[in-house]
Structure 1
Amino acid sequence: MRVIDPHAHMTSRTTDDYREARRSGVECVIEPSFWSGSDKLYPESFFDYFEHIIDFETERAERIAGMDHYVTIAINPKEADDREMAEAVIDRLPEYLDRDRVVGVGEIGFNLQTDAEEWAFREQLRLAEEHELPVIIHLPHTDKPAGAERTVEILEEEGATQERIIIDHNEPDTMEYTAATDCWLGFTLYPGKISIEDVMPLLEEHGTDRMILNSSADWDDSDPLAVPKARDAMLDAGWDREVVRKLVFENPLEFFSQAENFEYEP
């Protein structure tokens, strides 16, 4: 059963990771803009990074693994707390939003839930709305319920098109807020945070429409095979094959097909 991983920071992975993911059924990945492992010191560092993931990573994915690779562009919440830096970067973001392989804005949202992060969140949300692009929203890793509640308030205040938004990094204590929206909901299968065994009861309760599984596959203790492993775990647990296919393939395909530059063909 083929897989699309809709949130994987492949610039942090090795070529062997690409090959293993492809052998496990991952045919397509979307790479959101992320913290590069150390803080960027200058606005120009962001632009070099954007060029890297747009050009080099898409070429590497195809060359190494025959995998389709797309990106979303943003200043990540972890790097949005420097207001002066954020203003300089966001001012130039429109230059990148029409580039080949760019299929959205993200990830944006909260990290420490500061005023500067909220300013960057709103500005980038407005850019996505202007360009009619999908959005990946990052829920904070601490005080998640409050972050989820504030995230939903901002989406409503901004009048964002919720059908073009994934609210990612959901856990049981965020569902009260996020499941009440028309947004798509992402679950990042990350060691020590949430597993597919944790997610399955949430899917039973809330259904599988607008639900998406991803790996993150970043610099920390993450697994680029998390989505194929979740597929297998759900099948082993007796879930209907078509329901599992919907989660790991059809839902991310439907969501990112809203982007004009998303050209993946099953």
Structure 2
Amino acid sequence: MERGPAIFDASIHPLFLPEQDLRDLAFFGVGGAVAVVGDEIEGQEPEDLLAAFARLVREEPLRLRRAGITPFVALGIHPRRIPAHGLERVIAELPALFDEARVVAVGPVGLEEGGPLEEEAFLRQLELAQSLGTRVIVRTPSREKARHTRRLLGLLRESGIEPARVLVGQVNAQTVRLVRACGYAASISVSPLRIRAEDAVALVRQLGSSDLVLASEVGAGPGDLLALPRTAWLLGQAGLSPEIVRRVARENALAFFGIDPAAAFA
């Protein structure tokens, strides 16, 4: 596979990725990434979450840089890791962590099974994003995706957060149209658990490149280190212009997160 343009990965989970995997990502063209924590951590007590967040902002950027990937960070409570007690404590301590690294968003946040606790945690983190003036990465679950996506979009609308500050992730062929119709950017997760590279290319061909970004979610369960490089290559092989490939592979993500392209791969 020929090496294509520099790629910006909108979501990787580095906590349990070995450094060799990070170096391989960089070798195959991933030059920048947003590092997140999902449900791959053990435990959901406030101490567990805060320890993972502290590691994400204090240690993981150094590992990413050593591997050749420019690090950015998003911090948020995954719906599977919402503490039964102490939610407000975690949210109260997040702003201080935002000052310790290049944190570009709250997230990933969203719903898994639904219900009052998940919705409360989601809305509180939207409020946090608004108070900090930052962006939000919203995740959608695999099960009952359409129903939960509609509920998430309703909560987003009720919150009053600006659509330009919201990235809805793990979209599929059904939900991506709904997400973009509401004015939000959409993230296509290319992985064995989400969407194949070939299907991601088909979506771009059908929908165009506007407000679409790519994420690998590598580090969160079974993944594919070559998912985004392969997708970028297949986009070119499908006859899409180099400009469209650049938009989907990096420029749309940089624009959404407000990252200066000169700093994205520094």
TM-score normalised over the length of structure 1: 0.92
- Using the TM superposition, give the Cα deviation of residue 135 of structure 1 relative to its aligned residue in structure 2, in angstroms: 0.8
Amino acid aligned to 2:72: Y
Instruction: Summarize the alignment of residues 62-211 of structure 1 with structure 2, pairs less than 5 Å apart.
Output: 62-63=65-66, 65-80=67-82, 82-211=83-212
- Using the TM superposition, give the Cα deviation of residue 217 of structure 1 relative to its aligned residue in structure 2, in angstroms: 0.4
* CA–CA separation in structure 1 for the residues paired with 2:133 and 2:166: 11
2:29 matched to 1:29?
A: no
Q: How many residues align?
A: 261
Give the corresponding residue for 1:60: 63
* CA–CA separation in structure 2 for the residues paired with 1:83 and 1:123: 15
| Contact 2:6/2:31 (8 A) holds in 1 | yes
2:217 matched to 1:216?
A: yes
Give the corresponding residue for 2:264: 264
Q: Give the direction of change, closer, same or farther, for the CA distance of 1:263–1:130 in structure 2 (3 Å limit).
A: farther
- Cα deviation digits, residues 85-107 of structure 1 (max 9, x gap): 32331232222223322111000
List gaps (5 residues or longer) in structure 2. Answer: none
Q: Give the direction of change, closer, same or farther, for the CA distance of 1:143–1:231 in structure 2 (3 Å limit).
A: same
* CA–CA separation in structure 2 for the residues paired with 1:137 and 1:226: 21
* CA–CA separation in structure 2 for the residues paired with 1:163 and 1:192: 27
| Contact 2:9/2:30 (8 A) holds in 1 | yes
- Secondary structure in structure 2 of the residue aligned to 1:118: helix
* CA–CA separation in structure 2 for the residues paired with 1:52 and 1:62: 15
TM-score normalised over the length of structure 2: 0.92
Q: Give the direction of change, closer, same or farther, for the CA distance of 1:255–1:94 in structure 2 (3 Å limit).
A: same
Q: Give the direction of change, closer, same or farther, for the CA distance of 1:258–1:92 in structure 2 (3 Å limit).
A: same
| Contact 1:234/1:244 (8 A) holds in 2 | yes
* CA–CA separation in structure 1 for the residues paired with 2:205 and 2:164: 22
Q: Give the direction of change, closer, same or farther, for the CA distance of 1:219–1:148 in structure 2 (3 Å limit).
A: closer
- Using the TM superposition, give the Cα deviation of residue 242 of structure 1 relative to its aligned residue in structure 2, in angstroms: 1.3
| Contact 1:43/1:88 (8 A) holds in 2 | yes
* CA–CA separation in structure 2 for the residues paired with 1:167 and 1:4: 17
* CA–CA separation in structure 1 for the residues paired with 2:204 and 2:187: 11
Amino acid aligned to 2:59: F
Give the corresponding residue for 1:233: 234
- Runs of 4+ in structure 1 off by over 4 angstroms are none
- Secondary structure in structure 2 of the residue aligned to 1:12: coil
- Secondary structure in structure 2 of the residue aligned to 1:212: strand
| Contact 1:75/1:86 (8 A) holds in 2 | no
Amino acid aligned to 2:36: P
Sequence identity (%): 27
List gaps (5 residues or longer) in structure 1. Answer: none
Amino acid aligned to 1:57: E
